[in-house]
Protein backbone atom coordinates (compact mmCIF):
# COMPACT_ATOMS: atom_id res chain seq x y z
CA UNK A 1 0.00 0.00 0.00
CA UNK A 2 1.10 3.54 -0.75
CA UNK A 3 0.12 6.11 1.84
CA UNK A 4 0.36 9.87 1.29
CA UNK A 5 -0.02 12.18 4.27
CA UNK A 6 -0.78 15.89 3.83
CA UNK A 7 0.08 17.83 6.97
CA UNK A 8 0.05 21.47 7.94
CA UNK A 9 3.32 22.26 9.70
CA UNK A 10 2.62 25.70 11.17
CA UNK A 11 5.42 28.25 11.28
CA UNK A 12 3.53 30.08 14.03
CA UNK A 13 2.92 27.34 16.58
CA UNK A 14 3.26 23.56 16.75
CA UNK A 15 -0.19 23.57 18.38
CA UNK A 16 -1.60 24.56 14.97
CA UNK A 17 -0.08 21.54 13.19
CA UNK A 18 -2.73 19.22 11.80
CA UNK A 19 -3.47 16.46 9.32
CA UNK A 20 -5.14 18.00 6.26
CA UNK A 21 -5.65 14.77 4.37
CA UNK A 22 -4.52 11.24 3.71
CA UNK A 23 -4.55 9.04 0.61
CA UNK A 24 -4.24 5.26 0.68
CA UNK A 25 -3.54 3.46 -2.62
CA UNK A 26 -3.72 -0.34 -2.60
CA UNK A 27 -3.09 -2.77 -5.45
CA UNK A 28 -6.14 -4.97 -6.07
CA UNK A 29 -3.82 -7.80 -7.27
CA UNK A 30 -6.23 -9.03 -9.99
CA UNK A 31 -4.75 -6.97 -12.85
CA UNK A 32 -1.18 -7.61 -11.70
CA UNK A 33 -1.71 -11.38 -11.70
CA UNK A 34 -3.50 -11.31 -15.07
CA UNK A 35 -0.68 -9.32 -16.74
CA UNK A 36 2.30 -10.98 -14.98
CA UNK A 37 3.01 -7.75 -13.09
CA UNK A 38 3.12 -5.40 -16.10
CA UNK A 39 -0.10 -3.59 -15.20
CA UNK A 40 -1.78 -2.90 -11.90
CA UNK A 41 -5.16 -1.60 -10.81
CA UNK A 42 -5.43 0.29 -7.54
CA UNK A 43 -8.19 1.07 -5.05
CA UNK A 44 -7.70 4.58 -3.71
CA UNK A 45 -9.20 6.12 -0.58
CA UNK A 46 -8.97 9.86 0.01
CA UNK A 47 -9.66 10.96 3.57
CA UNK A 48 -10.94 14.28 4.88
CA UNK A 49 -9.13 16.56 7.29
CA UNK A 50 -8.15 14.57 10.36
CA UNK A 51 -7.73 11.38 8.32
CA UNK A 52 -10.62 9.37 9.75
CA UNK A 53 -13.55 9.93 7.40
CA UNK A 54 -13.32 8.87 3.75
CA UNK A 55 -14.03 11.72 1.33
CA UNK A 56 -13.85 9.74 -1.93
CA UNK A 57 -13.02 6.26 -3.16
CA UNK A 58 -11.75 5.83 -6.73
CA UNK A 59 -9.93 3.26 -8.83
CA UNK A 60 -6.90 3.63 -11.10
CA UNK A 61 -7.09 0.91 -13.76
CA UNK A 62 -4.41 -0.67 -15.96
CA UNK A 63 -1.51 1.36 -14.53
CA UNK A 64 1.72 0.55 -16.41
CA UNK A 65 3.97 -0.46 -13.53
CA UNK A 66 7.04 -0.89 -15.75
CA UNK A 67 7.00 2.64 -17.24
CA UNK A 68 5.39 4.81 -14.56
CA UNK A 69 6.29 5.59 -10.95
CA UNK A 70 4.77 6.52 -7.63
CA UNK A 71 4.10 10.17 -8.55
CA UNK A 72 2.28 9.07 -11.69
CA UNK A 73 0.10 6.76 -9.59
CA UNK A 74 -0.65 9.57 -7.13
CA UNK A 75 -1.46 11.96 -9.98
CA UNK A 76 -3.88 9.48 -11.57
CA UNK A 77 -5.59 8.83 -8.23
CA UNK A 78 -6.05 12.57 -7.68
CA UNK A 79 -7.24 13.07 -11.26
CA UNK A 80 -9.87 10.34 -10.79
CA UNK A 81 -11.01 11.93 -7.53
CA UNK A 82 -11.04 15.65 -8.36
CA UNK A 83 -10.74 15.84 -12.16
CA UNK A 84 -9.02 18.65 -14.06
CA UNK A 85 -9.71 21.61 -11.79
CA UNK A 86 -7.05 23.83 -13.36
CA UNK A 87 -8.53 23.82 -16.87
Residue pLDDT, tens place only, 22-76: 999 999 999 999 999 899 999 999 999 998 999 999 999 999 999 999 999 999 9
pLDDT at 12: 85
Domain boundaries, the chain: 2-82
Strands of 1-87, DSSP E: 2-8, 18-27, 39-47, 54-64
Sign (positive or negative) of CA dihedral 27, 28, 29, 30: negative
pLDDT at 59: 97
64 beta partners: 39
pLDDT at 15: 85
Using alpha carbons only, how large is the chain's radius of gyration in Å? 15
Amino acid sequence: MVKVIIELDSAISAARDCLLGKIEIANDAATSVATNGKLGSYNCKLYQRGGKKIWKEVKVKDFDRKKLGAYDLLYLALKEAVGNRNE
